[in-house]
A and B are shown apart, each in its own frame.
Chain A
């Protein structure tokens, strides 16, 4: 009777879980780039 609404409700945690998996995959793959220090420090004052 309320299946459409229940499925919609469940889609939110599914979206969060997929986001987490994508984040985990991306971090694993790109960790060296993310941790690479800046060659030339040119901070804004």
Chain B
């Protein structure tokens, strides 16, 4: 069925998309979080009338503007790649994926672009209230843009609100609200945006720490830290809660991903959560009955069962259960899923042939059968498995999923402590004395980016081999173009994005060194 698919083409296409998405994700979280922080600061200015808050707002707005421009440039390329590199995918699910993507485009390009212009150039030209409204609408617009792209991504992780039409051989949306309010999409959006707020808060504290270390703009830096530490702390707690709900969704709908990011090969009742562990590199072959999954691990008993199913003793299936099946707990084997997937594909092929040869009655009968809820539930839901030839290819990279998940969680816990310490030292009026903490605050900025990227690595690597969970394997989604063309654009994008990143960092550092300006336009040292 997928004869002729060049695996190196699939890998290079995946590599290119990962490269573009990861570079894009360097800029986006700062935009999402900083927009809200700026809006809070400007609200304080409007409410108190204190011009210091205007000065603070304008400084962070300048950094926001630099980051926003480069983020848009990388995002546009991503959207084009759906057509250039993933055209089979776009054709198969365009009716569903296209809708949120189009709304995202409208919100990103119209709402944000309109109000961002007022935000940057409207000072002293429009009323304070109108300017504040424009700032909040820019912040809301940026986050709503993220909502739609994450709704689309959530749908890929758990397809809902659609039906397969054998006439067009495409997925078609039948319930927009089910797609929008899918718990998978909702928790993905909330977890992603709140973690972006955390990243932006760390950025503000890190940059403010630099000012304090330099002994300049102290009041500006302290006030910025207070805003960012409180907002960051609240967002961190929210990130934990939404992440917990997100994990529960994954446990129910993507059990293989859940087992992979916990390194759980053999499922059990009352499964423990591995707090820290070293994955065994030599004996993780799922075909090995006596495999040793960890070289060492610190496990908290029963927590994984509770995290997944809100029951301390619930059975959590491991990778081996999902591959071989487990009758006792009603886990279907991968082989059975492959058989069902092949039946779905055969029915579709038979329908197409009947249509082609003009056998109207046979075609109608097959169409009715394919569209029936029973067939959709028991066969079509495993459609993608029909393309799978090796059951072990259903297992994603366990070390990558495990380490990215645990790195994200450990750093997330550190960030909560970090915000509390930043707030405590600042409110005690002693933060300038804690030089080690101030230096650590600056080094926490790259850690926030690492945590954020780890989340995406977990989400996207963990769901392999699927581009649409259980329905379409990644290798079936790729555009059949020459590997050479993808290689050329991969390196081209790598060079362009790296140049853009260096440019952003240099421009930002220059602006930070200039510092916040007074109303007259001069920097206030």
B-contacting residues of A (Cβ < 8 Å)? 2, 4-6, 8-9, 11-12, 15-16, 18-20, 22-24, 26-27, 30, 33-38, 41-44
Closest residue of chain B to A5, judged by CB? B181
Nearest 10 A/B pairs, CB to CB: A43-B215, A2-B181, A5-B181, A33-B429, A34-B222, A19-B234, A19-B231, A5-B186, A44-B213, A35-B219
Chain B residues within 8 Å of A12, by CB: 190, 193-194, 238
Chain B residues within 8 Å of A44, by CB: 213-215, 435
Q: Tell me the residues in window 464-486 of chain B with beta carbons closer than 8 Å to chain A beta carbons.
A: none
User: Are the C-beta atoms of B177 and A2 separated by less than 8 Å?
Assistant: yes
Contact partner of A38 (CB less than 8 A), chosen from B40, B215, B227, is B215
Contact partner of A27 (CB less than 8 A), chosen from B44, B216, B242, B428, is B44
CA distance A6 to B186 in the complex (A): 9
A-contacting residues of B (Cβ < 8 Å)? 36, 40, 43-44, 47, 177, 181-183, 186-187, 190, 193-194, 213-216, 218-219, 222-223, 226-227, 230-231, 234-235, 238, 242, 245, 426-429, 432, 435
A8 to chain B, nearest CB (A): 5
**Residue of B43, B223, B245 most packed against chain A (CB within 10 A):** B223
Closest residue of chain A to B201, judged by CB? A19
User: Are the C-beta atoms of B215 and A36 separated by less than 8 Å?
Assistant: no
CA distance A11 to B428 in the complex (A): 31
Q: List 21 A-B contacts (CB under 8 A).
A: A2-B177, A8-B187, A8-B190, A9-B190, A11-B190, A15-B234, A19-B230, A19-B234, A22-B234, A23-B230, A23-B231, A24-B47, A27-B223, A30-B226, A30-B427, A33-B427, A33-B429, A34-B222, A36-B429, A38-B215, A43-B215
Q: For chain A, what secondary structure do more than half of its interface residues adopt (helix, strand, loop), or is it mixed?
A: helix
Given A8-B190, A12-B194: A34 in contact with B215 (beta carbons within 8 A): no
Closest residue of chain B to A44, judged by CB? B213
Chain B residues within 8 Å of A26, by CB: 226, 230, 427
User: Are the C-beta atoms of A5 and B190 separated by less than 8 Å?
Assistant: no
User: Are the C-beta atoms of A43 and B226 separated by less than 8 Å?
Assistant: no
Closest residue of chain B to A26, judged by CB? B226
